[in-house]
Structure 1
Amino acid sequence: MISQKAKYALRALAALAQAHPEEPMMISEIAQQQSIPKKFLEQILLDLKRSGMVESRRGKQGGYLLLKSAGEISFGEVLRLVDGPIAPLPCLSQTAYRKCEDCDGEHLCEIRHVFARVADATREVLFNTTIADAVEGAGSTKAPVRELLSA
């Protein structure tokens, strides 16, 4: 299950993807449009800025813009940034691998073999689905971001 913070991050990115590319969106505008608490959104946008996904502009016409295109930001990248490792078991993590405490041998573990397939399938979907795919999903066979996040 993904965190509320990750859902909000994905929704904020979707809002920015749908905005005019050269007109920054204010935090209050994103918060209201996406029903995200403003203070929480500030923290999320700061994390996204540090990661190079968004940029902020100061001043009267300030706000946030996508720094990368929506087609370059995958769901997997956002989830890994916000929630950490995606793998269902620590011994399957690509970024935070560690041996399970009760492990007698990974090659013999029936549980690991099954969850390795789950992890591979999950990564395949998450890292091949972009914010642009989700935003464009309403007119295609892919689900829009709100549907993807409410499951």
Structure 2
Amino acid sequence: MKVSSKGEYALRALLVLGHEQGRVVSIQEISEKTLVTVHYLEQLLLQLKKLGYVSSKRGAKGGYFLHKTVEQINIGEVIRDLEGPLSPMACASITKYEPCPLEGSCQLKPLWSLIRDTIAFVLERTTLGDLLENRLTFLKGDDFVVFEKPD
């Protein structure tokens, strides 16, 4: 899995809207706060709107606002919706599995599956609210610690 600029910029826009819950935010303001061009944001916000994460208001005081609460916006879902599967290799993907001719004897597939599961574990347990409040999942030794700040 690789998060492209599309995924990163969409998350930046969602964070701006999350900071401004209950307020319609102009695309110009989102652009200034995310350092993403208005033209690219128009495309991203349209996609986020079609996916049900944001809504828009037309007119002079128009702009965008969150369609869901920050706790309802799951980062794993957003990334999957925008970027596709979380697996680093198609042979280890659950949603977009593609067979490999070496699969029967492949010693790498368990590694790719572990990476997929670890990425999914973190992203699926993280909401936009967690990012806004800096409640992140992180590794502490060999364990995952959820909703604490690192030492």
Q: TM-score range by the shorter chain?
A: 0.7 to 0.9
Report SS of the residue matched to 2:133. Answer: helix
Counterpart in the other structure of 1:2: 3
Report SS of the residue matched to 1:72. Answer: coil
Report SS of the residue matched to 2:9. Answer: helix
Counterpart in the other structure of 1:116: 113
Q: Distance in 2 between matches of 1:87 and 1:104?
A: 15
Counterpart in the other structure of 1:147: none
Structure 1 unaligned residues grouped into runs of 5+? 143-151
**Residue 130 of structure 1 pairs with residue 122 of structure 2:** no
Contact (CA 8 Å) 2:21, 2:66: kept in 1 or not? Answer: no
Alignment of 1:7-18 (within 5 A): 7-18=8-19
Alignment of 1:40-119 (within 5 A): 40-100=40-100, 102-105=101-104, 108-119=105-116
Q: Distance in 2 between matches of 1:115 and 1:55?
A: 37
Counterpart in the other structure of 1:141: 149
AA in 1 matched with 2:65: L
What is the CA deviation profile of residues 102-148 of structure 1, one whole-angstrom value per residue up to 9, with x for unaligned ones?
A: 3242xx4210011111111110001111111111108x617xxxxxx
Q: Distance in 2 between matches of 1:104 and 1:73?
A: 35
Contact (CA 8 Å) 2:6, 2:44: kept in 1 or not? Answer: yes
AA in 1 matched with 2:102: C
Q: Distance in 1 between matches of 2:122 and 2:85?
A: 15
Greater per-residue helix proportion: 1
The alpha-carbon deviation at position 94 of structure 1 amounts to 2.3
Structure 2 unaligned residues grouped into runs of 5+? 136-147
AA in 2 matched with 1:19: E
Q: Distance in 2 between matches of 1:104 and 1:34?
A: 42
What is the CA deviation profile of residues 28-70 of structure 1, one whole-angstrom value per residue up to 9, with x for unaligned ones?
A: 1100111111100110001100000101111222111111111
Q: Distance in 2 between matches of 1:76 and 1:20?
A: 21
